[in-house]
Chain A
Amino acid sequence: MRTIDYTIEPPVVEGKPSLSSINEDIARPLETKPPKGWYIAISISLTMLLIGAVSLAITFIKGVGVWGVNQPVGWGFDIVNFVFWVGIGHAGTLISAILFLLRQRWRTSIARFAEAMTIFAVMCAGLFPAIHTGRPWLDGYLLPYPNQHGLWVNFTSPLLWDVFAVSTYFTVSLVFWYIGLIPDLATLRDRTTNKFKKVIYSIFSLGWRHSTKHWNHYEMAYLILAGFATPLVLSVHTIVSFDFAVSIMPGWHTTIFPPYFVAGAVFSGFAMVQNVLIVIRKVFKIEHIITLDTLEKMNKVMLATGMMVGYAYAMEFFIAWYSGNPIEQFVFLNRALGPYAWAYWTMVSCNVLFTQLFWFKKIRRSIPVMFVIGVLVNVGMWFERFVIVVTSLSRDYLPSSWGMYIPSIFDIGILIGSFGLFFTLIFLFIRTLPVVSIAEVKAVLPDAQPTHGGNH
């Protein structure tokens, strides 16, 4: 009867690669000619981006009337997508910051990539509040700058909090990401033979020289940033959830929203990261760096957050019933039985039912199955936002002003476009920057750290 010692962490990186081979593996995609697959992929994503751009241009010229939004459903795909993308972003920060603080060493191989996804997702998200306004050319009014109206913004509006939250989130993630990149850029700078690339790398590596004096401050800074990113990531989706929770609409005005949204965000974010990583590690043959164990760990996280989300769904119904507020009660009955029931049940099945499969180790470790489930989770989470935004508005207080929301082709076009933007950025990223943090991976290699001397 053999016992397993859980105190020993399994190695983060499989096999026993040398420090230099790490360089090789990670820098390869940057130096070799892209495979055909990459060209196909990016042309698809660019097409999607183009579709989005055209739909957006038409919206800008003719007005948001080309969308499906109306009275009473003033928000449609625009805000649904916004919340969805912000959610996607969260996994990145979670992996890079929270897991860092929790000393989860398995994060190192995926942190860089997750952070990149955060930034791209937040870019996609940030797009929507900007374009959903009736007069987009006046979006500047949302910033508190001294203007000829002598008027300031309304600091009580959750939408304004969003402006601060999302912009802060974007900036800090970017800084965090860039800090992580500096040593790798320096490495590339020293590696590359191409003059042009050298200039670029030199500029962005700022003259980093792997000095221990710098490493000393650097690690401190990294720790501090991680420390700040953690409450930040929680706050961002909390504030996004305020958009709804602070309103007085039945189905929106709910105290459970902040934790519920954060859990949901992590949930969908992990699904997205998992999906993309599965592709990346295959295409770039870095299965030994982004290991199956890592993926399995992510699936576990999804299982956990998925159940939190499920709990939230149940709790919403309970509270609605328990509150004794008939209007609140109706809204939730209407979600489950009303005209948008299909959306509701899609959400429930994708988010709560399918993830239960992750209880089985076999499924947790089977690449194709987890991929499918990941996709389903993203679909489910998108519909969660749809259910929250649309069904609540479509049937609120006055039956006289109930109405249905039917998305137009422009709504769909812009949704496609946002995915196009996201993947285009991803594809460019994996060709131009190290998808895995070279320095960090080196640091966690076996025998990378001294066995005596240093007191740790």
Chain B
Amino acid sequence: MENKPLYSIAATFSDVNKTIDAVQKINEAGYKNYDVHAPYPVHGLPQAMKLKSSKLGWVTLVFGFSGAVFAFLFMYWVNVFDYPLIVGGKPFYQLPAYIPVMFEVTVLSAAVFTVVWMLFILFKFPNNSHPLIDTDYMKRVSVDRYGISIQANDEIFDFYKVKEFFKSLGAEEVFEIYYKVDELQDRPKIFDKKFISFLVLTSVIVSAITYFVLNQLLFMSPFNWMHKQFRLNPQTSTTVFKDGFGMRTPVEGTVARGYLPYPFKGKPAEAEMKLVNPLVPTEQVLKLGKSKYLTYCSPCHGNYGFGDSRLRGQFPNPPTLHSDKIRNMKDGGIFHIITEGQNVMPSYASQLTVDERWAIVHYIRVLQRSVNPKESDLR
């Protein structure tokens, strides 16, 4: 005989009743590793083969139940913990609304996992290299014959005896079924040059497509993500005006609500005379003053107003705020300087609102008082 390992010896029968008898006989003969093949499920065969009825139901139960539980817990977590939303004035946790989804998930997981389990765990499919595949035996069986195949690895297997046995059972034909050696001897193909280049090629193509889709296609019409809207946001440009500035400067001489022009331009004396601080030095005001002072004033005048700051020496030195001149200056005067600027000090009108300026004035007073306090304070 040719050099091929034997898988089994199989025989076909034409009549279903005969087959069942045969099976029972084979059982009695004590064969274990045998199988019966029929073109359709034949009632009674499994019993004849003494097969236990399938336990698949348990798989279904487990996966179905876990599906339901998972669905419920997920929805509960979403609605109650992760992202609670008031929807239609209903409570966050609303079981009735969950039921449809729970049911669907149950069915889905149960059905799919049952089949997956059967095909891939029980049957170990896909398995097209099984010796029985592509045999004349299989061709018969898949049409109209019933076949019995006794495997070579059975304890009491005996080449001739088995053949004889089949004959005695009234088999139509007897087949010898061998392993397909050539298939068994295939080398794994993974390091093949072709495969590698295919791999690289696909990845390049995929990358190119991904890039095009994510960065080009999705920003073409009709796709619209409302990330670019037809309106003029602050600090954006426009083509309408020659200068391209989207933000316009108000017309000279107009007065916006709450922004009456400063009446004492270039009149410090008058300002000092006429202006009075409208704010009361409450804690809130002083807090505001402090924060603004530290932001805008301290870089030159120093955190405590001694005119000692990191900028010292780089400009004409800023004056201390504890000089008699400033201590005796009325609030209006300081306000005027902040508003108009003085010498190298620029105007802070556009950085600080009127209230903020007055608040700073208060804070400066506090600083001054902390440096040279009144008698009353010392007592």
Contact = CB atoms under 8 A, between A and B. Distances in A.
- The answer to whether any beta carbons of A and B sit under 8 Å apart in the complex is yes
A209 B38 CA distance: 9
Interface string B217-229: 0100111100000
B307 to A, nearest CB: 51
Contacts of A179: 115
A295 B231 CA distance: 65
Contacts of B222: 60-63
Contacts of B298: none
A235 B79 CA distance: 24
B104 A456 contact: no
A221 B41 CA distance: 13
State the majority secondary structure of interface residues on A: helix
Interface stretch (B43-51, B191-199, B270-278): B43-51
Interface stretch (B118-126, B236-244, B248-256, B259-267): B118-126
Interface string B22-53: 00100000000001111111111111110101
A284 interface: no
A23 B221 CA distance: 54
Nearest to A231: B107
Interface in A39-74: 60-63
B56 A212 contact: no
A166 to B, nearest CB: 9
B114 A225 contact: yes
Contacts of B16: 447-450
B20 A450 contact: yes
A451 interface: yes
The 9 closest A-B pairs by CB, nearest first: A454-B44, A19-B144, A220-B54, A207-B127, A206-B125, A443-B40, A164-B104, A453-B20, A156-B97
Contacts of B112: 171-172, 175
A190 B142 contact: yes
Interface stretch (B128-136, B179-187, B328-336, B371-379): B128-136
A155 B85 CA distance: 11
Interface string A124-156: 000000000001010000001000001110111
Interface string B58-101: 00100000000000001100110011010110100010011011
A61 B108 CA distance: 35
B90 to A, nearest CB: 7
B350 to A, nearest CB: 38
Contact of B40 (A20, A63, A203, A440): A440
Contact of A215 (B41, B101, B139, B218): B41
Contacts of A20: 143-144
A228 B68 CA distance: 14
B9 interface: no
A184 to B, nearest CB: 9
A367 interface: no
B126 A164 contact: no
Contacts, number: 224
A453 B17 contact: yes
B154 interface: no
A158 B46 CA distance: 46
A188 B21 CA distance: 29
B335 to A, nearest CB: 48
A155 B41 CA distance: 43
B224 A135 contact: yes
Contacts of B17: 450-453
B78 A152 contact: yes
B77 to A, nearest CB: 9
Interface string A333-363: 0000000000000000000000000000000
B111 A209 contact: no
A220 B79 CA distance: 38
18 contacts: A150-B82, A160-B101, A172-B108, A179-B115, A189-B142, A202-B133, A207-B125, A215-B42, A216-B46, A216-B54, A221-B115, A224-B110, A235-B107, A442-B40, A443-B42, A449-B42, A454-B48, A455-B44
Contacts of B150: none
Contacts of B24: 453
B142 A186 contact: yes
Interface string A417-433: 00000000000000000
Contacts of B74: 144
A210 interface: yes
Interface in A165-205: 165, 167-168, 171-172, 175-176, 179, 183, 186-187, 189-191, 202-203
Interface residues of B, number: 76
A123 interface: no
A20 to B, nearest CB: 5
Contacts of A297: none
A433 to B, nearest CB: 16
Contacts of A276: none
Nearest to B79: A155
A156 B46 CA distance: 48
A23 B141 CA distance: 12
A228 to B, nearest CB: 5
Nearest to A154: B87
A203 B126 CA distance: 8
B313 interface: no
B105 interface: yes
A214 B53 CA distance: 11
Given A220-B56, A454-B48, 20 more contacts: A19-B144, A137-B218, A150-B83, A152-B78, A152-B82, A155-B98, A207-B126, A207-B127, A209-B37, A209-B138, A212-B45, A224-B114, A439-B41, A440-B40, A442-B39, A443-B41, A448-B42, A449-B42, A449-B44, A452-B20
Nearest to B224: A135
Contact of B49 (A62, A135, A150, A212): A212
Interface string A60-98: 111100000000000000000000000000000000000
B258 interface: no
A454 B223 contact: no
A448 B43 CA distance: 9
Contacts of A447: 16
A31 interface: no
Given A179-B115, A228-B107, A211 B127 contact: no
B127 to A, nearest CB: 4
A104 interface: no
A239 interface: yes
B37 A210 contact: yes
A405 to B, nearest CB: 24
Contacts of B111: 171-172, 175-176, 224-225, 228-229
Nearest to B18: A450
Contacts of B127: 206-207
Nearest to A186: B142
A235 B103 contact: yes
B131 to A, nearest CB: 10
